[in-house]
Amino acid sequence: MTARPGLLVVGNGMAAERFLDELVFVGGAERYEITVVGEEPTGAYNRIMLARVVGGAGPDEITTKPAGWYAVNGIRLVTRRWVQRLDLARGEAVIGDGETVGFDRCVLATGSSAWMPPVAGIRTAEGVRQAGVHLLRTMEDGLALRRETDPAGGRRRISVVGGGLLGLELARTFVDQGHRVTVLHVGDTLMQTQLDRLGGTVLRDAVAAMGIEVVFGQTEAVLARDRLEALRLDDGRVVPTDTAVFATGTRPRIETAAASGIEVARGILVDDRLTTSAPTVSAIGECAEHDGVTYGLVAPCFEQAGVLAAILGGSDPEARYRGSKVCAKLKVAGVDVASMGPIEAVEDTDEVVQVIEERRGVYRKLIIRDGRLLGAVVVGDGESTARLVQLFDSGERMPPNPVDVLCSPPAFARVGGPGSAELCNCNRVSEATVEEAIGAGSDTVEKLRASTRAGTGCGSCVSRLVEALERHGALSVV
Ligand SMILES: Cc1cc2nc3c(=O)[nH]c(=O)nc-3n(C[C@H](O)[C@H](O)[C@H](O)COP(=O)(O)OP(=O)(O)OC[C@H]3O[C@@H](n4cnc5c(N)ncnc54)[C@H](O)[C@@H]3O)c2cc1C
């Protein structure tokens, strides 16, 4: 019997996990001798759910691939090891302690790391992070935060630096635990890359109503003696703080690629086949840069994983990745937020429609060009978002009165046809697919997750899965 080619996957995060799933599905586990080397101690988990670990959930509750899954599928899993570099000429990866793993093909899925801004005093004289200062990217980070902020240890003053998606999600977790929470945000609009000023204001009001204080300003210094005592802003204001979490963005992890002589810019450069400058090496997920773009949401990572698995698994060798149309449809601290395309008019002729319901805390903004949806911002309205995503994705014409799209039930019934609206944005699952799965016997959320993948990303659509099950009178919806 001839030996199968060796396929090495570097990194075992969400992109790698999806790639392996898809590869196994198309028979890739028989085609290749697969080895996965991951720096973290366990099998893959849903990183998006880390705030739950901070809130007290056990690591098992967010694990998506226990060690047994790899064994059952004949995949060798190497944990707690870091691939330093690839020796492309020899087809070998150098891992942690000088050990090597041979490969014929390699997939880099090294993700991103959390970025910490250069704030004075953030490190001790010995160069270690000041006690009480945290990041949140890995399970280890989540468990460390949990230990420090366990409500059993009393009420803490927690500052979250960064009012983006992750920062607000964490702030909500901490406030629910009874802590006193301040979000420090540079600039004057929360989530300013996804929301315009008005949308940011509506979100800030919703967040304030939860008991989260929002302070706008640049964090300039960590004030500490033995441990963190306060954060200082650049205008001199001081925020007393027992625990600080920096949720200030991410940077693609390109160090392994760079050390291997593979071309990098912000991310690892890939073509439409997701191949890097080294013909035997591919890259997917947040570490990859395609057509000048790196992504920070999971949906594009999943799309790339699917394309690469089709190519390497042989189910569609001609598959190509053409970039992702990013629609961020998220639940931020319990508030529905969606953002797609530009958030302001780009050309003078672009039409802008804004609808604000102050008392309900609902805001929608549509940017329309030549009768089609170019961009949208939605805060506090989960229902019309699905229709907007559909219009944005398909490029279908808007109704003559664009506000009709925002009505419930929709006054514009033609959008994409019945059931075509996207229910799960992370996995691109339509309402119709979910309905079909229920009809075929998926009568619980867990079964729907398994049969359609809806709800396995950020989880914000799970309530809609429950609604769909209830509509069908499914007996068990848990
Ligand atoms: C708390 C949190 C909340 C989030 N919420 C959302 C959300 O609501 N919606 C959304 O779309 N996205 C969200 N994201 C982003 C989402 O998690 C990422 O888009 C996704 O995890 C990217 O997958 P990836 O595999 O590219 O990278 P990762 O999941 O980061 O995995 C990369 C893995 O590679 C390992 N690695 C790196 N280099 C090496 C090496 N040289 N050798 C071995 N192993 C290595 C890393 O340790 C890591 O385990 C969130 C992220 C966080 C942290």
Q: At residue 261, does pLDDT exceed 90? A: yes
> 82: Cβ below 6 Å to ligand 1?
yes
pLDDT band at 371 (very low <50, low <70, confident <90, very high): very high
Q: Decide if 6-113+251-313 and 133-248 have a common fold.
A: yes
Per mean pLDDT, which range of 148-157, 212-221, 434-443 is the poorest?
A: 434-443
Contacts of 197 (CB under 8 A, 6+ apart): 188, 189
Q: What is the pLDDT of residue 393?
A: 85
Give the CA radius of gyration of the chain: 23
Q: What is the CA(259)–ligand 1 centre distance, in A?
A: 21
Q: Is 86 in the pocket of ligand 1 (CB under 6 A)?
A: no
Band of residue 255 on the pLDDT scale cut at 50, 70, 90: very high
Which residue's alpha carbon is nearest to atom 23 within ligand 1?
A: 14
37 CB near ligand 1 (under 6 Å):
yes
Determine the atom of ligand 1 nearest the C-alpha atom of 137. Answer: 53
110 in contact with ligand 1, CB cutoff 6 A: yes
CA distances 135 to 51, 177, 260, Å, are 12, 19, 28
Query: Is the pLDDT reported for residue 458 higher than 70?
Result: yes
Confidence of residue 319 (pLDDT cuts 50, 70, 90): very high
| pLDDT score recorded for residue 181 | 98
143 secondary structure, DSSP code: H
Give the model's pLDDT for residue 331. Answer: 75
Greatest mean pLDDT among 125-139, 254-268, 417-431: 254-268
Distance 267 CA to ligand 1 centre (A): 14
Instruction: Kindly indicate the confidence band of residue 119, based on its pLDDT and cuts at 50, 70 and 90.
Output: very high
Cis peptide before 342 (omega within 30 of 0): no
Report how far residue 421's alpha carbon sits from residue 440's, in angstroms, rounded to the nearest whole number.
20
Confidence of residue 52 (pLDDT cuts 50, 70, 90): very high
pLDDT (tens digit per residue) in 293-303: 999 999 999 99
Q: In the predicted model, is pLDDT for residue 476 greater than 70? A: no
| Overall average pLDDT of the 329-353 stretch | 89
Residues 242-248, mean pLDDT to the nearest whole number: 97
For residue 53, pLDDT beyond 70: yes
| Closest ligand 1 atom to Cα of 255 | 41
Average pLDDT, the chain: 92
Q: Which CATH code for domain 421-478? A: 1.10.10.1100
Strand order in the sheet with 92-95: 83-87, 92-95, 99-102
Tokens 């300013």 locate to: 192
What is the per-residue pLDDT for 329?
Answer: 76
User: pLDDT value at position 404?
Assistant: 86
Answer whether 36 contacts ligand 1 (Cβ < 6 A). no
The per-residue pLDDT for 332 is 76
Residue 352 to residue 357: CA distance in whole angstroms? 17
- Give the residue, 404 or 134, on which the prediction is more confident: 134
Q: Which pLDDT score is estimated for 411?
A: 58
Is residue 137 in contact with ligand 1, taking CB distance under 6 Å? yes
Residue 424: band (very low, low, confident or very high) from pLDDT cuts 50, 70, 90 = confident
- Nearest residue (CA) to ligand 1, atom 37: 110
Q: Does domain 6-113+251-313 correspond to CATH entry 3.50.50.60?
A: yes
Question: Is the pLDDT score of 355 beyond 70?
Answer: yes
- CA 113 / ligand 1 centre spacing (Å): 8
Would you give the end-to-end CA distance of the chain in angstroms? 48
**What is the model's pLDDT at position 327?**
83
Protein residue closest via CA to atom 15 of ligand 1: 297
pLDDT digits (tens, 9 = 90+) for 406-423: 876 665 555 555 566 778
Centre of ligand 1 to C-alpha 47, Å, is 6
Q: What was the pLDDT predicted at 210?
A: 93
Mean pLDDT, residues 367-382 taken together: 94
Say whether pLDDT at 191 is over 80.
Answer: yes
Question: Mutation test of ligand 1: which of 298, 301, 428, 458 has the most ligand atoms closer than 8 Å to its C-beta?
Answer: 298
For ligand 1, the distance from its centroid to the CA atom of residue 441, given in whole angstroms, is 33
pLDDT-above-70 percentage for the chain: 96
Q: Tell me how far apart the alpha carbons of residues 104 and 266 are, in angstroms, rounded to a whole number.
A: 26
**Predicted confidence (pLDDT) per residue in 10-23, tens digit:** 999 999 999 999 99
What is the distance in A from the centroid of ligand 1 to the CA of 374?
A: 29
Confidence of residue 428 (pLDDT cuts 50, 70, 90): confident
Closest ligand 1 atom to Cα of 328:
11
Amino acid at 173: T
Helix and strand numbers, DSSP H then E, in the chain: 13, 27
Residue 331 alpha carbon, nearest atom of ligand 1: 8
pLDDT at 390 over 90: no
Q: Where are the domains of the chain?
A: 6-113+251-313, 133-248, 341-417, 421-478
CB of 15 sitting under 6 A from ligand 1: yes
- Looking from the CA of residue 459, the nearest atom of ligand 1 is 8
- Contact (Cβ atoms closer than 8 angstroms) between residue 26 and residue 55: no
* Ligand 1 atom nearest to CA at 17: 25
Architecture field, domain 133-248: 3-Layer(bba) Sandwich (3.50)
Q: Long-range contacts made by residues 186-189, C-beta under 8 angstroms, separation at least 24?
A: 186/216, 186/217, 186/218, 186/219, 187/216, 188/216
More confident residue, 463 or 54: 54
Among 28-32, 72-76, 339-343, 387-391, where is mean pLDDT lowest? 387-391
Find out whether the beta carbon of 12 lies less than 6 Å from any atom of ligand 1: yes
Fold (topology level) of 341-417: Enolase-like; domain 1 (3.30.390)
Q: How many angstroms separate the Cα of 315 from the Cα of each of 19, 48, 273, 299? A: 13, 29, 14, 21
Q: Over 80: is that where the pLDDT of 312 sits?
A: yes
| Shortest-distance atom of ligand 1 to CA 50 | 1
